[in-house]
Chain A
Amino acid sequence: MARPFTPKVITANDLLEGDVIYFMSDDSWTRDLSQAELIVDEAEAQLRLLDAERQNIRIVGAYLADATAGEQGPEPVHFREDFRRKGPSNYSHGKQEAEAHV
């Protein structure tokens, strides 16, 4: 029997900035995982991934990543996504720096 489908978010990198980004339900992108669209249906996930990949002039490397529903929105399941959410552990650059300046 096929494995049951687990909820997903669509994540990618910003083509020019490199930051980790997430696809939202209005087809735009956010740097904040908790704002991402959590997709619970497998067929819907494939369709949304196609929607995301169509924006390949702004993004690169879109894929489906496991996530769970948390109080503040989607939360990562695997440590890879936990690291990607925060940004590199050796420097505060990209979005971490941007956040520190607001």
Chain B
Amino acid sequence: MLDALGEAGLHAIQTSGTTTRNTTADHFAGAAADELTDPRPYAELIRQWSTDHPEFQFLGRKFKIAVTGSPNDRAVTKAHDVGLRMVEQNGEIGFEVIVGGGLGRTPMVGKIIRDFLPQADLLPYLESVLSVYNVLGRRDNKYKARIKITVQENGIDKIRELVEARFEERRREFDGTDQALLAEIKTHFTPPALRSGATDAYQAAYNADPVFRAWADTNLAAHRDADHAIVTISIKSHGATPGDASAEQIRVMADLAEEFGYDELRISHQQNVIIPHVHKSDLPAIHARLKEHALATANIGLISDIIACPGMDYCALATARSIPVAQQIASRFDELKLEHDIGHLQIKISGCINACGHHHVAHIGILGLDRAGVENYQITLGGDATETAEIGKRTGPGFAYDEIVPAVERLVEAYLAIRSSDEETFLETYRRLGMEPFKSALYPEAQKKVA
């Protein structure tokens, strides 16, 4: 398998172990309209620097870094050990550096250690963060061998002081080789030569075909070039396994990327497929082809665009199933025909406290547990995976397997009844009114007892 991966230019170095893991960037990198500059060369620079870095091979546990190329965070940087959010200050582009985020059994939102780091200082600064962590980090307990614990135990101010002091020393050891390397790396990420041409075909289809319009409204994102769009292909067809595509569907998507997408295609952590650069005139043809292969579901960002981890159907660590719960929620809201009315709402489901489904940062998070030998699902509300990251709060007692879908339905009904307007999203309503109205919808019995 490693040989076959190698032939395709892929490897598995530092995808596990107590080192810096593969660095992630946001899935719209190099294409998004709101991007300041492409984050991928920085991610690649970090990868090359961290690979076999002798000082940081024994960090106690994994260490994860994510980079997002725009102030709008699409890479969940605040749930990583180190998050880098690209920002602009006085016309210069740099990074806001966030440390100590994480999910798993001790979820934490990362804290800002530096609000502006000039891009040229990236590696010496990261090296200082890791070096401080390497000295202070806990090695006595594997659950505590994460920088989130170090930040919590020492306080962000102390960590910042130590990192800045170390940075003064480390910076002098960098002689500009890293910047030369970065310039070289950038040549491997040159954007495709974008086509120009009329986009009338797109407008015509948009006006004439309501099915195409619904898909365009949910599945397209703004490209930096006004004649292009970013296409998200939903791998969340209602009632199917989130993120699963057949071999035939995967070939269809690869062909589309080759034909219309400058030969580029990506997988997002939200379990969808992205074609980052598409000329708008090609969108109707792409949509028609996707429809033929059951890939044209128009639900990106909606209630059925659920992240679900493999759960007990596949994962040895699981305490409950997640996939069937996602399937049932998606089918139920499809039946109710409410999905577009509900609008932006992220549900994420994990089958154990490791939180691979990122349920902590979902608007509605679902965590499957084993309570005395039966599956039990805990709900959290108000989580947020973006630059305004929050960890969701538990509503109260969990729900049995056959009660979880009705519980989600009650939550959504409550939201529809109390939102201030059609434009107010679930998360905004929750932020305005807090937990109470949702709690009374979830636990009507308990409410009666109090009254």
Residues of chain B within 8 A (CB-CB) of A91 are 241
Q: Which B residues between 308 and 329 are near A, CB-CB below 8 angstroms?
A: 312-314, 316, 318, 321, 323-324, 327
Classify chain A's interface size.
Answer: under 10
- Given A90-B324, A90-B327, A91-B241: A79 touches B374 (CB 8 Å cut-off): yes
How many angstroms between the C-alpha atoms of A88 and B322 in the bound complex? 11
Closest to B239 in A: A90
B370 surroundings in chain A (CB, below 8 A): 79-80
Among A61, A89, A90, the one with the most B-chain Cβ atoms within 10 Å of its Cβ is A90
Q: Residues on A close to B: CB < 8 A?
A: 61, 78-80, 83, 88-91
Q: Please name all residues of chain B whose beta carbon is closer than 8 Å to the beta carbon of A89 when the two chains form the complex.
A: 313, 321, 323-324
CA distance in complex: A90, B314 (Å): 10
Chain B residue with minimal CB distance to A13? B316
- Residues of chain B touching chain A, judged by Cβ–Cβ distance below 8 Å, are 241, 312-314, 316, 318, 321, 323-324, 327, 370, 373-375
- Separation of A79 and B375 alpha carbons in the complex (Å): 8
What 9 pairs across the A-B complex have the smallest Cβ distances? A88-B313, A90-B241, A90-B323, A89-B324, A89-B313, A83-B312, A90-B313, A78-B373, A80-B312
Distance between B418 CB and nearest chain A CB, rounded to angstroms: 34
Assess the B373–A83 pair: CB atoms within 8 A.
Answer: no
| Distance from B445 Cβ to chain A, minimum over Cβ atoms (Å) | 26
What is the interface of chain B mostly: helix, strand, loop, or mixed? mixed
Q: Report chain B residues within 8 Å CB of A80.
A: 312, 318, 370
Min CB distance, A93 to chain B, in Å?
11
Q: In the complex, are the beta carbons of A83 and B321 less than 8 A apart?
A: yes
**Minimum Cβ distance to chain B for residue A83 (Å):** 6
Minimum distance in angstroms from A35 CB to a CB of chain B: 23
> Whole-angstrom distance between the alpha carbons of A61 and B316 in the complex?
9
List 11 additional A-B contacts (Cβ < 8 Å) besides A79-B375, A89-B321, A90-B327: A61-B316, A79-B370, A79-B374, A80-B312, A83-B312, A89-B313, A89-B323, A89-B324, A90-B313, A90-B323, A90-B324
Listed A/B pairs (25) with beta-carbon separation below 8 Å: A61-B316, A78-B373, A79-B370, A79-B373, A79-B374, A79-B375, A80-B312, A80-B318, A80-B370, A83-B312, A83-B313, A83-B321, A88-B313, A88-B314, A88-B323, A89-B313, A89-B321, A89-B323, A89-B324, A90-B241, A90-B313, A90-B323, A90-B324, A90-B327, A91-B241
Q: Please, how many angstroms separate the alpha-carbon atoms of A96 and B181 in the complex?
A: 53
CA gap between A11 and B1 in the complex, in Å: 26
Task: Write the nearest CB–CB distance from A63 to chain B, whole angstroms.
Answer: 9
A72 CB, min distance to chain B CBs, angstroms: 22
Q: Which residue of B lies closest to A18 (CB)?
A: B314
Looking at the assembled complex, report how far the CB atom of B375 sits from the nearest CB atom of chain A, in whole angstroms: 7
Instruction: Kindly provide the distance from the CB of B72 to the nearest chain A CB, expressed in whole angstroms.
Output: 33
CA distance A79 to B313 in the complex (A): 11
**In the bound complex, how far is the Cα of B320 from the Cα of A89, in angstroms?**
12
Q: State the CA gap A83–B323 with chains docked (Å).
A: 13
Minimum CB distance partner of B323 in chain A:
A90
Q: How far is the CB of A53 from chain B (nearest CB, A)?
A: 16
Contacts of A79 in B (CB 8 A): 370, 373-375
Residues from chain A with a CB closer than 8 A to the CB of B324 are 89-90
Q: In the complex the two chains form, what is the Cα distance from A80 to B369 in whole Å?
A: 12
Task: Determine the chain A residues whose CB is within 8 A of the CB of B374 once the complex forms.
Answer: 79
Cβ-closest chain A residue relative to B312:
A83
CA distance A83 to B373 in the complex (A): 13
Give the chain A neighbours of B312 by CB distance below 8 A.
80, 83
Query: How many Å lie between the Cα of A61 and that of B318 in the bound state?
Result: 15
A90 cross-chain contacts in B, Cβ below 8 A: 241, 313, 323-324, 327
- Per the bound structure, the CA–CA distance linking A78 and B314 in Å amounts to 16
Measured in the bound complex, the distance between the Cα atoms of B310 and A88 in whole Å is 10
